[in-house]
A = this chain, B = another copy of it.
Amino acid sequence: MAEHFADRLLAAIERKGSPVCVGLDPVLDRLPEALRRKFATFTGEAGRVAAVRSFCLEVLELVAPYVPAVKPQSAYFEVFGSAGVAAYEACVARAHELGLVVIGDVKRNDIGSTAAAYAEGHLKVGAASCPDAVTVNGYLGSDGIKPFIEQATSAGKGLFVLVRTSNPSARELQDLATQDGRKVYEHMASLVASLGASSVGACGYSHVGAVVGATVPDEARALRDLMPQQIVLVPGYGAQGGTADDAAVSFKPDGTGGIVNASRSVIFAHTEKQYAGMDWKKAVESAAKAFASDIAAAVKRRKP
């Protein structure tokens, strides 16, 4: 029996000293100039895939000493088709070698045996190229979430269901008030809490987590209480406007229960003002370190 995902994640956070996750969003146009030049001799797509792959592999080495987890964003690999997906797999495998917990940001969703196929493909037992957890979109209801839970349970892996996303238009559907007074995202939260109750680790958390944006701290505070057994994956810190203190509201007073993601502010740190003129690798390393201590401090401040 594999160790429970929540226990593994919490242990990794404990070891690194900060509940953070670096998102791998390798937007081609933002890669360091030096790296783009290096692969410019490759023709067409092959060169672009090689540049993205090489960049991600380097970023993994740079951030691994400071963060417990990484979150590769599938879209930036799928943009290159199957060759890009192979690069994604290589990054996941390398992250595992470096001892990182990997959350595949794939936002998959479907029903029945189709959802089961997604779950198997992305949470396969024993495949180094498969993440430890994936993000799931729950608009289809429990039929669309349960197959991921079943696969995660048997593989010792996890999932994070989108509850309240960090983007401005999240309000169009997720914030609609329903007739019992609750908002749509609160119904989603109850569904996630109830589906996740079936498998809770020694740490008290389920392997079914939730995604709640740092851009909506008031909602996040209420959601923390609605989902006592969920680890909350918190996007929206940094580039999207959420502060460390905003992100910290998704944690419990004991400092557990959340993991905060930052993507571009770390991996493209060389384009940020405060790292201007610094070698891009040095900038990534500095930004990862600063991110980890910023969040650790905010979570500590929140403790009673």
A residues sitting closer than 8 Å to B (CB atoms) are 25, 27, 73, 75-76, 78-86, 88-89, 107-115, 117-118, 120-122, 127, 129-130, 137-144, 162, 165, 167-174, 176-179, 184, 187-188, 191
Q: Enumerate chain B residues within 8 angstroms of A112, measured Cβ to Cβ.
A: 167
**Chain B, Cβ-Cβ closest to A176:** B178
With A85-B85, A117-B78 as given contacts, are A191 and B177 in contact (CB-CB < 8 Å)? no
Expressed in whole angstroms, the minimum distance between the Cβ of A283 and any Cβ of chain B is 21
Name the residue on B nearest A129 (C-beta).
Answer: B81
Docked-complex contact A82 and B82, CB < 8 angstroms: yes
- C-alpha gap A86/B176 in the complex (Å): 40
Q: Which chain B residue lies CB-closest to A85?
A: B82
A141 and B172: CB pair below 8 A? yes
- Determine whether the beta carbon of B187 is less than 8 Å from that of A176: yes
- A-B residue pairs in contact (CB < 8 Å), sample of 26: A75-B114, A75-B118, A76-B114, A78-B122, A79-B118, A81-B121, A85-B85, A107-B108, A107-B109, A111-B169, A137-B137, A137-B139, A139-B165, A140-B165, A140-B167, A141-B174, A142-B169, A143-B167, A143-B169, A144-B169, A172-B191, A173-B188, A176-B187, A177-B178, A178-B178, A178-B184
Question: Which of A27, A81, A118, A168 has the most chain B CB within a 10 Å cutoff?
Answer: A81
Number of copies of chain A assembled together? 2
Q: Is the CB of A177 within 8 A of B179?
A: yes
Q: How far is the CB of A138 from chain B (nearest CB, A)?
A: 7
Question: For residue A162, which residues in chain B have a CB less than 8 angstroms away from its CB?
Answer: 139-140
- A264 and B173 alpha carbons, distance in the complex (Å): 32
Extra inter-chain contacts (18) besides given A79-B121, A140-B167, A176-B184, CB under 8 Å: A27-B117, A75-B108, A75-B117, A75-B118, A78-B121, A81-B89, A81-B121, A138-B173, A141-B169, A141-B172, A144-B169, A173-B184, A173-B191, A176-B178, A176-B179, A176-B187, A177-B178, A178-B179
User: CA A140 – CA B171 in complex, angstroms?
Assistant: 8
Cα(A55)–Cα(B114), bound, Å: 18
Shortest A126–chain B CB gap in Å is 13
- Write out the residue numbers on chain B whose beta carbons fall within 8 Å of the beta carbon of A78: 117-118, 121-122
- With a CB–CB cut-off of 8 A, which chain B residues contact A76? 114, 117
Chain B residue nearest to A79 (CB atoms) is B121
Between A75, A88, A174, A188, the greatest number of chain B beta carbons within 10 A of the residue's beta carbon is seen for: A75
